[in-house]
Chain A
Amino acid sequence: MTATPSNDAGFRVSLQVDIPSDVAYIERVVDLVRHPCAELAYNAHHLALNVPVALSEALSNAILRGNHEDPGKRVRIRADVDGQRLIVEIADEGDRFDLEANTRDATDAANIEREDGRGLFLMRKLMTGVERFDASPNGETGNVVRLTLTRA
């Protein structure tokens, strides 16, 4: 009989995924990132709501707004998961944007009936942290959005 560790201390999964700028890949990336979270017994709400929705939003933004679905551009995803937290970085090749300026309060009465504008709002509600930084300090384009989810 193989001894089983009493906890997941030291257990860590790192993933790198590279996809074309096509929204058809979103669900597969979500499943790839969600799997190690499930393995590490992240709670049911993290697995069914926080991770899939926030990651879908970040991927969708990178593919549609960053890369404009350009087949010549790629989206790169790097995920690190351990027992304490999940960090996912989503990199596009698009024009730089201001995370703060583009986050709209979706619950404002003026915005409730809008079809768009809930993506960044939801990412920030569902993740412990959302940051954006330049993909390359020397280049003029490219964003990295980092999602952090800390287990309570």
Chain B
Amino acid sequence: MSFSIKKQGEIVVVDVEGQLIVGNRQELKQKVLDELERGEKKFLIDFAQTGYIDSSGLGVLVSLSKKIREQGGELRLANLNDDLRTLFELTKLDTLFQISDTRDRALSSF
């Protein structure tokens, strides 16, 4: 499991490879917060290569969303498979995040 970060235009894109769970959530949080501290405002997290997410992983996404909004930025999500989408729907987090079906749609939505 790992996180890779790259810039596409003015958007910071994070790929979550493997699981986003209690054992690695802090790594994701720190990577995104480092970018936020550097002045980045637009963030996209892409879950195309993600297995499962636990409640700690969801909690980190909520926390990052708040921190990014506080800095005048925006966090969007893309490529949730059916099971990940179900997880967001069960917790109603689909109402908190703007979620796109594809990376391209997410990138063009900023």
**Contact between A114 and B62 (Cβ–Cβ < 8 Å)?**
yes
Q: Are B23 and A24 in contact (CB under 8 A)?
A: yes
How many Cβ-Cβ contacts under 8 Å join chain A to chain B? 79
Whether A112 contacts B92 in the complex (CB less than 8 A), given A23-B22, A48-B83, A64-B22, comes out as yes
Q: Given A26-B23, A48-B83, are A53 and B96 neighbors across the interface (CB < 8 Å)?
A: no
Known: A53-B52, A122-B55. A106 touches B83 (CB 8 A): no
Cβ-based interface call for A119 (8 A): yes
User: Of A45, A112, A118, which one neighbours B96 at CB under 8 angstroms?
Assistant: A112
- Which interface residue of B54, B60, B66, B93 has the most chain A CB atoms within 10 A? B54
**Chain B, 41-78, CB within 8 A of any chain A CB:** 51-56, 58-60, 62-63, 66
Task: State how many angstroms separate the Cβ of A43 from the closest Cβ of chain B.
Answer: 11
Query: Given that A27-B21, A48-B83, A56-B21 are contacting pairs, would A121 and B62 also be in contact in the complex, using a CB cutoff of 8 Å?
Result: no
The secondary-structure label for the interface of chain A is helix
- Interface size band for B: 20 to 34
With most chain A CB atoms within 10 A of its CB, the pick from B22, B62, B63, B95 is B22
Chain A residues whose CB sits within 8 angstroms of the CB of B62 once the complex forms: 113-115
Contacts of B54 in A (CB 8 A): 53, 56-57, 60, 119, 122
Min CB gap A119→B, angstroms: 4
Contact-residue size bin, chain A (C-beta under 8 Å from the other chain)? 20 to 34
CB of B86 within 8 A of chain A?
Answer: yes
B residues 17-37 touching A (CB-CB < 8 Å): 19, 21-23
Q: What 0/1 pattern do residues 80 to 114 of A give for CB contact below 8 A with B? A: 00000000000000000000000000110000111
CA distance A16 to B58 in the complex (A): 29
CB distance from A50 to the nearest CB of B (A): 9
Q: Which residues of A contact B82 (CB under 8 A)?
A: 45
The 6 closest A-B pairs by CB, nearest first: A118-B55, A49-B83, A115-B59, A56-B54, A107-B92, A119-B55
List 19 other contacts, CB 8 Å, given A26-B21, A44-B83, A60-B21. A23-B21, A23-B23, A24-B23, A27-B23, A48-B52, A56-B22, A56-B54, A60-B55, A60-B56, A106-B91, A107-B91, A112-B92, A118-B55, A118-B58, A119-B56, A121-B55, A122-B55, A122-B90, A125-B90
